[in-house]
Amino acid sequence: MAVKPLNPPIFLPSLPNVPVQSGRRRGRLFYLVTLLALGSLALGGCRNDTATAPEALAPGNSPDVPPMEEASPASPTPAETPTAAPLTAPTAPVSQAPAPATGPPSQGTALPDALLKEWQPLSDVLAAFGPMTLTSTEVTWGSGQSSPYTVISSEGGYLLQLSAAPSFYDIPNPYIKLMPKTNASGVATSMELAFYESDAKLKGDEYIMYGSYFVE
């Protein structure tokens, strides 16, 4: 609040010395009247200053100030509703196919009746063992070797597994393969024969002996 300064001081001239007593009284009276006049002027100036100060502070005279808007309280955020996981139907266990069996195939065929007879050796390597006779259950050589057999394959011939593993030239042969040859009439008149000494040799088609037989 700005306050106006008071009226400047008024310096009263000093009264002249009056030799007469009546002059002193008059001078004092004049001095008192002057002081009263100056005091009333000073009081009037203070009243004017005090009167203007409240007007300056009146609400109507204050500069326009936009009223402060009260911030509305933030609305509470609704709690998130937990989402249930979708239900899935249980899956049935996947059955695995059994692994294929290894080793020689099982018996699936039998020798045709046209082969069940006596065969004469045609190759020199087989001549030492004499003729070979085939029956429905056994194979026999003229030199004395014999063994029951099982037909384990008919692909490209007839693969026989010999349970007794007869020896030829001191080498056991658990497998032999018969490969018949037919004439124009479809009759088997000869056959080729391969001898295998082990499963590994059989898988690699590495025969230990090979020869031919014929029918008389």
Q: What is the DSSP letter of 2?
A: -
Q: Which pLDDT belongs to residue 57?
A: 46
What confidence tier does 101 reach under pLDDT thresholds 50, 70, 90?
Answer: very low
Range of the domain at 178: 113-214
Confidence bin at 78 (pLDDT 50/70/90): low
Residue 36 confidence (pLDDT)? 74
Average pLDDT over residues 75-90: 56
Which of 68-77, 159-168, 200-209 is least confident? Answer: 68-77
Q: Let me know if residue 97 belongs to a domain.
A: no
Residue 33, pLDDT score = 67
Residue range 180-184: average pLDDT?
93
Radius of gyration, CA atoms only, the chain = 72
Query: Are 206 and 117 contained in the same domain?
Result: yes
Give residue 186's region: left, alpha or beta (phi > 0; psi -120 to 50): left
Clarify whether residues 120 and 210 are in a common domain.
yes
- Note whether 130 and 168 are within 8 A (CB): no
If asked whether residues 128 and 54 sit together in one domain, one would say no
Whether pLDDT at 51 is above 50 = no
Q: Which pLDDT band holds residue 43 (cuts at 50, 70, 90)?
A: low
